[in-house]
A and B are shown apart, each in its own frame.
Chain A
Amino acid sequence: MNFSSKLLEDAVNEFARLPGVGKRSALRLVLHLLRQEEAQAVSLGESLIKMRKELSYCKSCFNISDTDICEICSDSSRDQNLICVVEDIRDVMAIENTQQFKGVYHVLGGIISPMNGIGPDDLNIDSLISKVNQGEINEVILALNTTLEGDTTNFFLFKKLKDANVEITTIARGIAVGDELEYVDDVTLGRCMINRTPYETVLAR
């Protein structure tokens, strides 16, 4: 692509570095910004700079937060001794949307996958262990993806925590609500048959 302006080219190249954005889309976005009022482009730029410079992570749960301790961790109505371990902020948002969880989170920042260059040292694991070792925590809920890597991370955490005096649970896996049995894959359905739930606990909800 030949550009008549160096400034234009730089902006296009920066956009094209974003995931899912090619050169053509980048050019379209840049030209769009150019057509808008100047204030709008400036506000976009400023919010990006502010976001990158000022945003920080909660010192307790490692979720993205504007303050040292995030809103969830500082909420005194939540059970501080019930920790839900998740991969990243998207999972926190998903679980918060359910309004079914009144404990706090611990964001690992990824899952173990050597193929993607991520080992246990790259994750927020040590802080979770020291939190648990302080002895206040009653239960750790492992809520990671049900992939091989997610299961491996669960297993790793379990091995690290099993000697501490804490209950370790994992979220239920099975048939999605509203699904028909005949369309459920064999592996999932097989596990569902093994890990049955007492009917009374279903009634309570």
Chain B
Amino acid sequence: MHLKKLSLVNFKNYEHAELNFSTGFNCFVGDNGGGKTNLLDAIYHLSFCKSFINPIDSQNIKHNTDFYIIQGNFELNEKKEQIHCGFKKGKKKQFQRNKKEYSRLADHIGLLPVVLVSPEDTMLIQEGSDLRRKFIDTIIAQFDRVYLDKLISYNRIISQRNALLKKFAEARSFDKDAIDVWDEQLVELGMVIHEKRVAFLHSFTPIFKKHFEFISQGKEEVSLEYRSQLAGENFKDVLAEAMAKDRIVQYSTAGIHRDDLICTLDEYPIKKLGSQGQRKSFVIALKLAQYDFLKSEKGYRPLLLLDDIFDKLDPSRVVQLMELVNGSDFGQIFITHTHEERLTAVLEGIDDVKIFQVGGGMVKDYSAKSITDDAT
């Protein structure tokens, strides 16, 4: 799968832009605030039906105008796919595939998979465990619909159970039958979800390690440890053990909703001890492993969007990373960078590169020495 052409009207700082892409590397270079990431955002938008920077559509319209249009011509399995996204202030967002309007945006998500690596990704290791669970859940749910269904039910039961625990505390009472009916369902769902997470990480971790090793040239040893209260235990016993505590704190303290992914570097938690560059390499490897999973699930290569990826990485890691993504595993790639010289240096020897100079809402197709933006 690849994106052949992108056109924008009044999207963020672009009044009008048209870009024809290479099937290999596409680089956006320019100064801060020029609109490099906005181009990635437009591509992301065509895949996920929303912006990754600002989910409020009305704030993505260019100032002093009242609508935006993003249009992309993709090639998927040798067939042309034209995706059109239009938004006018106060109206419902229009999303069309080959001129046919989608009735539900959810039907589109997944057709044109995109993996984005952005500077915000380090939150994945810095912030709370919910982000890491979400990262795992999103990948599993992509190929296992039943998993998502069970997870939704599980979370609903937890909410009901917490409400029940609160009610017990308020009424200073306890009704074993009333809580058992939730617990028994919880146990069944929790065990299945736990098993699926274990199985997923079993196949995910080696891929992640392989990518990290390549980027860091084997200088550091990383690992992902799935930590769960259910590990080696019977969930029923775990729940029973936690009951006394649950009644005091009035919420459910045991279960797969407390799972975490411990990210370690040389056996120490990277959250506390990793340098910025190490953390960045770590999340890049996580994202690239996600890419691999998505690819094998879809049967075709997702687009890879790399936002400001060289920042904080040392030159040797940058070289390794470029060598990695230039390999046959990855398809079309979009990169943003501020330094053109540095970028051309790392791209040396790679064919199929197109460089776009971005600034002030205008794009110049630099490598082809032709001006594609009609505003210039």
Residues of A in contact with B (beta carbons under 8 Å apart): 112-115, 117, 119-121, 148-149, 151-152, 155-156, 159-160, 186-187, 190
Contacts and interface: CB of A to CB of B under 8 A. Distances in A.
B27 to A, nearest CB: 40
Given A119-B175, A187-B149, A156 B181 contact: yes
A106 B160 CA distance: 25
B273 interface: no
> Which 5 pairs across A and B sit closest by C-beta, in order of nearness?
A114-B163, A114-B164, A156-B181, A115-B163, A186-B145
Contacts of A121: 175
B226 interface: no
A155 B160 contact: no
Contacts of B157: 148, 152
A114 B166 CA distance: 9
Contacts of B160: 113-115, 148-149, 152
Given A148-B153, A187-B149, A117 B167 contact: yes
Contact of B146 (A112, A119, A120, A190): A190
Given A120-B175, A152-B157, 13 more contacts: A114-B160, A115-B159, A115-B160, A149-B160, A152-B160, A155-B181, A155-B184, A156-B178, A159-B177, A159-B180, A159-B181, A186-B146, A187-B145
Contacts of B182: 152
Given A115-B159, A115-B160, A152 B167 contact: no
Contacts of A117: 163, 167
Contacts of B167: 114, 117, 119
Interface string B158-171: 01110110110000
Contacts, number: 49
User: By DSSP majority rule, is chain B's interface helix, strand, loop, or mixed?
Assistant: helix
A113 to B, nearest CB: 7
A120 B182 CA distance: 12
B234 interface: no
Give the interface size bracket for B toward A: 20 to 34
A160 B161 CA distance: 20
B178 A119 contact: yes
Contacts of B276: none
14 contacts: A115-B159, A117-B163, A119-B164, A120-B177, A148-B156, A149-B160, A152-B160, A155-B181, A155-B184, A156-B177, A156-B181, A160-B177, A186-B146, A187-B145
Contacts of B184: 155
B126 interface: no
Interface string B121-153: 000000000000000000000000110010001
B185 interface: yes
